[in-house]
Amino acid sequence: MDRIATRLAIFCGVLCGQATAAPPDEVPHAMVPALTRATGASPNDDRQAAAVAALARAASQPGSRIDAQYRQPDATANGGPTDAEREEAARFAVWNSEEMLEARRYVLEVGKRSARSSEREAQAFLNRLSALSAEQMTTWLQRLQAQRRGIAVQRAVEDEAREAQREEALALLREQEAARQSVRQWQGRSAEWLQSRFDVERFLTQERQQGRRAEIASALDAKRLRFNPFYPTLDPMTPPPKIAGAASLPGDLPRSDPRNFIRGEEGIDFGGSGGVGFAGATAPAAAPSPAPTTAPSAAPVAVEGGASGVAEASGGE
């Protein structure tokens, strides 16, 4: 059904086009100049135009009777052709000239290609053209050639303008591409500069960190060199008075005595005769030695070993 409807639409369009087709010189923006009709010729008399066109075609064939008649002398009083014959010969010459043949092909092509005209209307136009006089044909041919030259010039100008616009658009595209390329190049350079700056900052940061680590390591090494493991206390930050107080603990004061770590005015007294004492403290009194019962028979002899040596000496006596 769709195919049938499409074909019917095309057929109706063709019929409507043929029904509404206009002569090629009467359509809007016609590319064919209008005719200047011969005197006494009716605009709608296509029969006479067709007959004249047929006569012209017959005369154009070599060896035809009409051609031979044109070549024979007219049987007049003076022996020359009449005015009508001379006019017909001039019309024949113009109609079959190279320029007119090109113009006739042009009119048929315009009628075939035009959407407002048709090939039939173009042929009818040529039939009316063939009915004109030689002078009118020549005038129409000159106007057609002038119009075609104008159309050619206009098309050339349009082509040049189109080519200029095309070149301008291409130049604009090239400029835009160059600008984008420049932007990409500068972006690449900026990225490289930022990357190099980041590398420098990272290098400097690493250098600072390494320097800080070196300082810490050197400080620790110095602490290790100054540290003495044989100190009375293992605390390297202990002040010397505290160390002295800690060193004076054995045999002097009990461990719970608060004076072991006394500070201030009652500090550790490093003076006195023998031993370590504390400022403001009294030395304990010495115990009295017992009186001897008998006089010694001999001078005492110092024997190494303390009391045991003395006992051995007394036993020997």
**Coil, strand or helix at 278:** strand
Give me the amino acid identity at 117: S
Q: State the residue range of the domain holding 11.
A: 2-161
Do the domain assignments include residue 175? no
**pLDDT grade for 86, boundaries at 50, 70 and 90:** confident
Checking if the pLDDT of 158 tops 90, the result is yes
Do the domain assignments include residue 60? yes
CA distance 180 to 184: 6
CA distance 78 to 71: 16
Checking if the pLDDT of 172 tops 90, the result is yes
Do the domain assignments include residue 81? yes
Number of domains the chain is built from: 1
Kindly state the greatest CA–CA separation across the chain. 221
At 306, list the tokens. 């303390």
Q: Which of 106-115, 287-296, 307-316 has the lowest mean pLDDT?
A: 307-316
CB 85 within 8 Å of CB 73: no
CB 103 within 8 Å of CB 139: no
Checking if the pLDDT of 165 tops 90, the result is yes
**Coil, strand or helix at 264:** coil
94, HSE (Cβ side, Cα atoms, 13 Å): 20
**pLDDT grade for 317, boundaries at 50, 70 and 90:** very low
CA distance 18 to 117: 8
Closest to 245 (Cα-Cα) out of 259, 266, 231, 265: 259
**For range 112-128, the mean pLDDT:** 88
| Model pLDDT for residues 235-267, shown as the tens digit of each residue | 555 555 555 555 554 456 666 766 655 544 454
Do the domain assignments include residue 295? no
CA distance 229 to 100: 131
Position 276 scores a pLDDT of 46
Across 118-122, 167-171, 266-270, which has the greatest mean pLDDT? 167-171
**For range 123-149, the mean pLDDT:** 89
Tell me what percent of the chain is helix, strand and coil, each rounded to the nearest 5.
60, 0, 35
Closest to 36 (Cα-Cα) out of 120, 116, 143: 143
Which H helix or E strand runs over 149?
Answer: helix 134-226
Do the domain assignments include residue 225? no
**pLDDT grade for 182, boundaries at 50, 70 and 90:** very high
| Model pLDDT for residues 20-42, shown as the tens digit of each residue | 678 887 878 777 888 864 444 45
**pLDDT grade for 303, boundaries at 50, 70 and 90:** very low
Do the domain assignments include residue 252? no
Do the domain assignments include residue 78? yes
Do the domain assignments include residue 114? yes
